[in-house]
Every structure is written in C-alpha cells, then in structure tokens.
Structure 1
Amino acid sequence: MDEEQQIMPEPVQEPAPEKKPDATQAIITGVSPLASLLVGAPVGVNIIAPLVFWLVWKNENPLVEGIGKNVLNSQISWTIYTLAGVLLIPLFIGIPLVIIAWIAWVVLSIINAVKVANGDYNYVMPLTIKFLK
C-alpha cells in the first residue's frame, strides 16, 4: 500500500442544517379562503379549505398552526358579519352592509394572502374575533 492512501483522513461529515418549517403549506393555508371566490361558493365555504389545511398540517408545521388560527378566526368573523347583514335585509340596511362586508372580506383576504406569501406570518385581518387562541 502506498503511504498517501494510509495517511488520508476520512471526510468530516458536516452537521445537518437546522430544519426550517416549510412556508409552502403556510402560504396555501393563507390563500385558501380565496378559492371560494374562484368556484363561486356560498358564504361559509371560505372556512372549509383553511380548516382542512389547518387540521392536516398544524402538528407538522408550526407556521401553519399560527396562520391557520388567524385565517380561521378572520373567515369566521367575516362570515358572521355577512350573515348579520343578510338578516338585516328586511330593514333595508342589510343590502349595503352585505355589500360592504363582502368587498371588505375580499380586499382583506387578498391583503392577508399577500402578507403570508411575503413572510409576514403574524398579520391579523382587521375586525377579527379570536375564536381559536
């Protein structure tokens, strides 16, 4: 055997980099309420997609745990506001309230989706009631 072969040290194995949570699942959870717009779903369906994603991914991804709660709280809140407007339609104030609530929900849901996609995982939509803590 050659001396060079005997002296060569074994390669040093570098430590594994710290595992970061996958932001893709968090982004999907944050954008999911807007899917109800694409399919023309009735009020309340905007809660189903983030609920499913949150229940499936919350234990394996800490980002989804927080974002899922924020998204669910905001979607439940805005659904309640819209339904309150629907109940007030006989008093003629309901139609403007439903329109305002729906437009605010769409705009704020888009803002929420953009913030989550840009890494702002602590954003909470205005007028959100905390149902899930």
Structure 2
Amino acid sequence: MDEEQQIMPEPVQEPAPEKKPDTTQAVITGVSPLVSLLFGSSVGVNIIAPLICWLIWKNENPLVDRLGKNVLNAQISWTIYTLVCLLLCMVLIGIPLLIIVVIAWLVLSIINAVKVANGDYDYVMPLSIKFLK
C-alpha cells in the first residue's frame, strides 16, 4: 500500500425520519359529523360520514382508528339523546330538551373539530358513551 493512498471513511447513514401518520385523514374524520348539516341534519346522518372515514382508513392509519372510535362513540351517544328527546316531545318536555341537545351537539362538534384540527386527537366529547373500544 502506498502511503499516499488515503483511507476513505464510509459515508454515515442518517437514520430514516419517523413516518408520521397522515393527519389529513384524521382531520377529515373529526370534521365529518358537521357534514351532516349539509345533508339536512336528520337523526343518524351524523354517524354515516365518520363511520365511512373510519372504515376506510382505520387499518392504514392508527390515528384515524383511535380518533374515529371517539368520534363515532360521541355521535352515536348524541343520536340516542336526540331520539329520547323526540320521544319526550309527546309530553311537551322534549321540545326544550331537544333544542338544548341540538345546540349542545352543534357546539361540542365544532369544539371537537377545532381540537382535532389543532392536533388534539385524544379529545373525547362530553357525555359520550363508549360503544367502541
């Protein structure tokens, strides 16, 4: 070997950056219950959009799986509350309760959408019953 020959160090491989889950899918899932307002907002429609998002993306994105369960639990719960209020409308006490439940659902769904858009994927809407774990 020649003394002039230099030993070239091997290039250092940098570790691959961690692959972050796609947050766009999570935001769409979190905002999807509000889409029901565009479709007449009938009882139960608020469940369809997050259910579709969750079923499509739950296997490929663990963030959507976790968030989708929270959103679905909340929407199923609020649909049950609305149905109970509709039944109580027969005895007139349901009318003010229905107004309160609809306004509360709208406000809490907007809060949920804002929290998800800001990256708080573990937020659980108040009064949610855990149907999906």
Instruction: State the TM-score, normalizing by the size of structure 2.
Output: 0.89
1:62 paired with 2:62, answer: yes
List alignment gaps of at least 5 residues for structure 2. Answer: 1-5
Determine whether 1:91 maps to 2:91.
yes
Equivalence map 1:69-84=2 (5 Å): 69-84=69-84
Report deviation, 1:83: 0.5
Partner residue of 2:132? 132
Q: Secondary structure at the match of 1:88?
A: helix
What residue identity is the alignment partner of 2:76?
A: I
Shift of 1:123: 0.6
Q: Deviations over 1:17-73 (max 9, x none)?
A: 111111110000000000001222311010001001101111111110110000000
Provide the identity percentage.
80
**Which runs of 5 or more structure 1 residues have no equivalent in the other structure?**
1-5
Residue 115 of structure 2 corresponds to which residue in structure 1? 115
- Letter paired with 2:105: W
- Per the alignment, in what secondary structure is the counterpart of residue 76 of structure 2? helix
Q: Which amino acid aligns with 1:33?
A: P
Task: Compute the TM-score of the two structures, normalised by the length of structure 1.
Answer: 0.89
CA deviation vs aligned residue, 1:59-109 (integer Å, no higher than 9, x gap): 111110110000000000000000000001110001111111100000000
Q: How many residue pairs were aligned?
A: 128
**1:47 is the counterpart of 2:36:** no
Q: CA RMSD in A?
A: 1.5
Which structure 1 residue ranges, 4+ long, deviate > 4 Å from structure 2? 6-13
